[in-house]
């Protein structure tokens, strides 16, 4: 095993070294040789994955394979998008029944309605504090880097985005509550499904045992089946994830990073600062076993990174949190709620991107104007975590509301998917940590994993 790792490391290092030498113009190397070396490195990764026999390893390796396919065979890679779309569609079929089953069991199965209320206000308090900090981290990052100043609009800046209607505060509040649960399920409205499931669980807890028991057994069975359903779909994850990366690189190309590297670097550095400066201290304060936590979230975060959809990572993230000791009832309540109210990465990105738009347009914004804009964005962004690139549409609508030109937003369009990968991953990490925080706050975090037939490794 050690020998294979050494060979793999040498091969990868050689591929990186030759690519760097060729790029710097020190030695002219034919593209065929470079491609051969890169694919030799890819073959080493595949051999490594075959030895590890881990689903997480396969997902990470498939990302590298997808990137190489997208770089070398862009036309073919773009056609692979259908595979990633199949994976996302299958994942989305899990969300509604899984949330319904776990929430109903968590509420009606324990009949502790006071705890539901406690978890509600504790979660919202934590979400508000953390997302506000993320907002200020994003503001500080873009004001320091000034990535928008001196930007030249690319020729593709006039690509059209879908129109977005301006929503009032009343519209946003009303959107939380379902008018038709079937419609909410069909449209993937996670927060509406959560509200319905919570009220249904409370109502079920209030009826007599003879009526409650059969419905509760159905909800428990539904949860178990959906976790098994998730396990089956996860075998397709490496293909879906690899196809998503291949499509991204194939239709964008790697060269797009040259003109927009400063903006991309600003976001990634800001997210790293947020992870190390905010989420890590929170984890240390609650005495979270960091190594176990990182191992548990590796798979859902890699899925979120590749698919740019928090929703795609939700089932696996829920399983991971239960596996490390968070009670299922807390996971089922906190995590889906956090997908609407605890968008750490998205909030940070929106504050950064809104000021970037003003900088690119040459418009000076006072600190007070920046605060007003980003707080508006934080309100209008609720519920966008499960939709890839929806934050770009939200940004477009808010910029129009504040009288900013929309043209600079199209600068972001070229690399939005690469930015979306990072912010979506941080959303998932933040929500996973939030479940542990609330579990610790409730005094119900268990050091030993919770035994459940549903929580099993597919690797």
Question: What is the rounded distance in angstroms from the CA atom of residue 422 to the CA atom of residue 313?
Answer: 14
Question: What is the rounded distance in angstroms from the CA atom of residue 116 to the CA atom of residue 105?
Answer: 12
**Cα–Cα distance list, 364 to 302, 358, 404 (Å):** 38, 7, 11
Query: Which tokens in the block code for residue 218?
Result: 């159905």
Choose the weakest-confidence range: 89-93, 181-185, 349-353. Answer: 89-93
Q: pLDDT-derived band of residue 426, with 50, 70 and 90 as boundaries?
A: very high
Please say if the pLDDT value at position 429 is more than 90.
yes
Give 327-369 pLDDT, tens digit per residue. Answer: 888 888 888 778 767 888 888 988 888 888 888 777 888 887 8
Give yes or no: residues 41 and 149 share one domain. no
Rounded to 5°, the CA angle 49-430-275 comes to 80
Of 69, 94, 62, 46, whose CA–CA distance to 309 is shortest?
A: 94
Give yes or no: residues 48 and 189 share one domain. no
CB 19 within 8 A of CB 262: no
Give yes or no: residues 86 and 74 share one domain. no
CB 362 within 8 A of CB 370: no
Please say if the pLDDT value at position 388 is more than 50.
no
Q: pLDDT-derived band of residue 373, with 50, 70 and 90 as boundaries?
A: confident
Give yes or no: residues 119 and 63 share one domain. no
Q: pLDDT-derived band of residue 162, with 50, 70 and 90 as boundaries?
A: very low
Give yes or no: residues 220 and 330 share one domain. yes
Question: Domain tally for the chain?
Answer: 2
Give yes or no: residues 43 and 100 share one domain. no
Q: pLDDT-derived band of residue 433, with 50, 70 and 90 as boundaries?
A: very high
Q: pLDDT-derived band of residue 155, with 50, 70 and 90 as boundaries?
A: very low
What is the per-residue burial (b if ≥16 Cβ within 10 Å, else e) of 417-452? bbbbbbbbbbbbbbbbbbbbbbbbbbeebeeeeeee
Give yes or no: residues 68 and 88 share one domain. no
Q: Is residue 241 part of a domain?
A: yes
Q: Is residue 457 part of a domain?
A: no
Give yes or no: residues 37 and 182 share one domain. no
Give yes or no: residues 205 and 294 share one domain. yes
Q: Is residue 384 part of a domain?
A: yes
Q: Is residue 168 part of a domain?
A: yes
Q: Is residue 455 part of a domain?
A: no
Question: What is the rounded distance in angstroms from the CA atom of residue 101 to the CA atom of residue 98?
Answer: 5
Q: Maximum Cα–Cα distance for the chain, whole Å?
A: 80
Which residue, 18, 51, 79, sits at the end of a domain? 79
Classify residue 215 as left (phi > 0), alpha (psi -120 to 50) or beta.
alpha
Give yes or no: residues 103 and 16 share one domain. no
Mean pLDDT in residue range 142-152? 76
Choose the weakest-confidence range: 53-57, 144-148, 153-157. Answer: 153-157
pLDDT at 64 (0 to 100) = 79
At residue 330, φ and ψ (nearest 5 deg) are -75, -45
Which residue, 63, 79, 95, sits at the end of a domain? 79
In percent, the amount of the chain with pLDDT more than 70 equals: 73
Q: Is residue 288 part of a domain?
A: yes
Please say if the pLDDT value at position 209 is more than 70.
yes
Question: What is the rounded distance in angstroms from the CA atom of residue 49 to the CA atom of residue 40?
Answer: 14
pLDDT at 105 (0 to 100) = 78
Which residue, 50, 79, 108, sits at the end of a domain? 79
Q: What 3-state class would DSSP assign to 155?
A: coil
pLDDT at 459 (0 to 100) = 33
Q: Is residue 95 part of a domain?
A: yes
Mean pLDDT in residue range 68-85? 84
Give yes or no: residues 418 and 433 share one domain. yes
pLDDT at 270 (0 to 100) = 94
Q: For all residues of the chain together, what is the average pLDDT?
A: 76
Please say if the pLDDT value at position 276 is more than 90.
yes
Please say if the pLDDT value at position 325 is more than 60.
yes
Q: Is residue 456 part of a domain?
A: no
Please say if the pLDDT value at position 312 is more than 80.
no
Give 25-42 pLDDT, tens digit per residue. Answer: 556 666 677 777 777 777
Q: Tell me, what CATH number does 307's domain have?
A: 1.10.3860.10
Q: Which domain holds residue 387?
A: 81-441
Mean pLDDT in residue range 57-85? 83
pLDDT at 140 (0 to 100) = 92
Choose the weakest-confidence range: 92-106, 161-175, 305-319, 399-413. Answer: 161-175
Give yes or no: residues 250 and 375 share one domain. yes
């Amino acid at each position: 095993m050690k020998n294979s790792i050494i060979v793999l490391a040498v091969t990868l290092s050689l591929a990186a070294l030759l690519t760097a030498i060729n790029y710097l113009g020190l030695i002219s190397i034919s593209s065929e040789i470079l491609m051969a070396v890169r694919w030799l490195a890819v073959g080493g990764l595949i051999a490594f994955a075959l030895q590890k026999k881990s689903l997480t390893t396969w997902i990470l390796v498939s990302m590298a394979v997808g990137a190489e396919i997208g770089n070398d065979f862009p036309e073919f890679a773009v056609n692979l998008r259908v595979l990633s779309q199949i994976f996302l569609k299958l994942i989305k079929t899990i969300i509604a029944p899984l949330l319904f089953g776990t929430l109903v069991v968590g509420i009606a199965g324990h009949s502790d309605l006071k705890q539901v209320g406690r978890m509600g206000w504790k979660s919202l308090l934590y979400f508000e504090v953390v997302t506000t900090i993320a907002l200020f981290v994003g503001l500080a990052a873009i004001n320091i880097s000034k990535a928008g100043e001196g930007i030249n609009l690319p020729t593709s800046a006039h690509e059209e985005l879908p129109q977005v209607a301006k929503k009032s505060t009343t519209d946003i509040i009303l959107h939380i509550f379902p008018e038709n649960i079937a419609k909410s399920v069909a449209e993937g409205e996670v927060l509406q499904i959560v509200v319905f499931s919570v009220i249904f669980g409370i109502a079920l807890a209030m009826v007599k045992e003879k009526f409650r028991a059969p419905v509760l057994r159905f909800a428990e069975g539904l949860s178990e089946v959906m976790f098994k359903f998730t396990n089956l779909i996860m075998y397709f994850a490496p293909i879906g994830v690899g196809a998503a990366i291949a499509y991204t690189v194939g239709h964008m190309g790697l060269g797009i990073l040259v003109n927009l590297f400063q903006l991309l670097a600003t976001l990634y550095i800001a997210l790293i600062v947020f992870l190390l400066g905010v989420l890590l201290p929170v984890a240390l304060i609650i005495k979270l076993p960091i190594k176990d936590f990182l191992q548990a979230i590796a798979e859902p975060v890699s899925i979120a990174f590749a698919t740019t959809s928090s929703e795609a990572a939700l089932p696996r993230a829920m399983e991971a949190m239960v596996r490390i000791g968070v009670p299922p009832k807390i996971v089922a309540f906190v995590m889906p709620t956090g997908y609407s109210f605890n968008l750490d990465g998205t909030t940070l990105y929106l504050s950064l991107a809104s000021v970037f738009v003003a900088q690119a347009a040459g418009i000076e914004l006072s600190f007070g104007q920046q605060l007003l804009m980003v707080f508006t964005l934080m309100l209008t962004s609720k519920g966008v975590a499960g939709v890839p690139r929806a934050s770009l549409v939200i940004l477009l609508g808010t910029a129009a509301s504040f009288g900013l030109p929309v043209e600079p937003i199209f600068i972001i369009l070229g690399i939005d998917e690469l930015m979306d990968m990072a912010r979506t991953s941080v959303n998932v990490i933040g929500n996973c940590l939030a479940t542990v925080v609330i579990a610790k706050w409730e005094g119900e975090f268990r050091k030993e994993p919770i035994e459940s037939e549903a929580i099993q490794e597919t690797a």
